[in-house]
Structure 1
Amino acid sequence: MLLCFGDSNCWGWHPAGGRHPAADRWPEQLAKSLGHSLRNLGQPGRTLVCEDPSLGLVSDRASWQAALAEQPAYLVLALGINDLAAGGHPAEIGQALEAYLGDWHHAGRPGRLVLLAPAPIPALQGAWRSLFSASHTLAPALLPLWQAIAERWQLTCVDPAPLLGDSPDGLHWTAQDHAAIAQALSQVFGASVGPSASAG
């Protein structure tokens, strides 16, 4: 099983609103390339630790811990950007990432875990600009934190920024972006994107 635990871009939020078709979402494409079943636990507004329920920004570490108990073969953890909108500081967010990795360690380090780092969000549009206010300027500080943490834990950290095109709303990914993310993660896991023969 492939476990993808993330926020709205993991869930598949379309920049125009609503949700991308399943075939266009990176978790579904990645699961197909790996030949495994999928647990897509993406959730719009999900954070690592910082919360502002009035804005729909909430963490759900208990669900992460419960999913680890299912012993997935592959895992992608893709959170962090919404913590900025909830008022978090990069150092605090990095500490939360370490705590999630601690959960993975205590669960016996199931499967192969890859970190998908938060992407910069330089050109937010509409309500998303208000949601993040000035905090979006801190987004570039998260990547080096993710990379340093990944090195300490001997994990792979994928930087999505070079893979992404211009987003219509500045925050959510297009179908082309999802395909590029799936391709990059598939290469990290040693699979090739394409039809799969089995699921598990």
Structure 2
Amino acid sequence: MKNILCYGDSNTWGYDPATGERFGPENRWPGVLKNELGDGFLVIEEGLNGRTTVWDDPLHGGFKNGKNYLIPCLASHKPLDLVILFLGTNDLKTRFSLTASEITSGIRALVEVICKSNAGIDEKPPKLLLVAPPLIGQVPDSSRFSEEFEGSEKKSKKLGPYFKEVTVEYDCKFLDASEVVKTSEVDGIHLDMDQHIKLGHFIAESSRDILEILK
């Protein structure tokens, strides 16, 4: 059995931009990943709405801080063959006032935790796939996210290239989600169901390559 941890935010949790509810297990990208890989794989979903990289949310508290939960999460699910890290979108919120470089520093801190952990096979670090978030789209004025993500479109374009540099530094794998999927026209932040399915299939292929498994 190979164990894969999917660690992310609402776009891993499966937030439906049209309803605010959660997509069903088979339609969230981790569920698509599980179905695509088939028997012999345990896909662990660890998505949390509003999760940041390393920042406490002044409105919602420290439990949104991705680093605080990452360490016990790795320990509780070990041994892990692969960790898929998919964060960064919530760091773009205006209340954090972060630059793209600072957001990248947050991701680097999480990558370092994973790459220096003993959460993998034989007490070694697990393999890591870092996924840069999809570009923030046009957030309609009618969306409750419009002010929360005001001015984040331009900044989000820098995350992919910056995150890729981190993977070179730590010798792990990289995927820029913006090259595979696009955010919903409903809110400009989250993925519609068809994009979850598309991303899940793509990540399944990437996972096979990383774990050197034939289809």
Task: Provide TM-score, normalisation by structure 1.
Answer: 0.87
Is residue 2:101 matched to residue 1:91? yes
1:66 paired to 2:81: no
User: Which deviates more, 130-139 or 143-152?
Assistant: 130-139
Paired residue for 1:42? Answer: 47
1:55: Cα distance to partner?
5.8
Structure 1 vs Structure 2 CA RMSD? 1.9
Does 2:159 correspond to 1:142? yes
Structure 1's unaligned 5+ residue stretches are 192-200
Following TM superposition, by how much is the alpha carbon of 1:161 offset from its aligned partner in structure 2, in angstroms?
1.4
Give, as a single letter, the amino acid of the residue that structure 2 aligns with 1:180. Answer: K
Partner of 2:136: 121
Deviation at 1:95, TM superposition (A): 1.2
Identify which of 127, 152, 156 aligns with 1:112. 127
Residue matched to 2:57? 52
Q: Alignment length, in residue pairs?
A: 191
Between the aligned partners of 1:24 and 1:182, the Cα distance in structure 2 is 9
Contact in 2 for aligned 1:122/1:137 (Cα 8 Å): no
**TM-score under structure 2 length normalisation:** 0.82
2:194 matched to 1:171?
Answer: no
Asked if the contact 2:134–2:182 (Cα under 8 Å) also holds between the matched residues in 1, the reply is no
Comparing 138-147 with 119-128, greater Cα deviation is found at 119-128
- Name the counterpart of 1:79: 87
Alpha carbons 2:134, 2:183 under 8 Å: kept: no
Following superposition, the deviation at residue 157 of structure 1 comes to 1.1
Q: Which structure 2 residues correspond to residues 10-29 of structure 1 after superposition, within 5 A?
A: 10-16=12-18, 17-29=20-32
CA offsets, 1:59-91, max 9 Å, x none?
131321112222212211000111110322111
Task: Look up the match of 2:121.
Answer: none
Mapped to 2, the partners of 1:55 and 1:66 lie a distance apart of 20
In structure 2, how many angstroms separate the alpha carbons of the residues matched to 1:110 and 1:173?
30
User: How far apart are the structure 2 equivalents of 1:165 and 1:68?
Assistant: 29
CA distance in 1, matches of 2:150, 2:60: 13
* Cα deviations by residue, 1:88-114 (Å, 9 ceiling, x for unpaired): 211111111111111112213533210
Amino acid in the other structure paired with 2:13: W
Asked if 1 retains the 8 angstrom alpha-carbon contact of 2:6 and 2:45, the reply is yes
Distance 1:165 1:142, change over 3 A: closer
Q: Which has the higher contact order (CA 8 A, sep 6+)?
A: 1
Q: 1:147 to 1:50 in 2, by over 3 A?
A: same
Query: Residue 81 of structure 2 contacts residue 126 of structure 2 at CA under 8 Å; is this kept in 1?
Result: yes
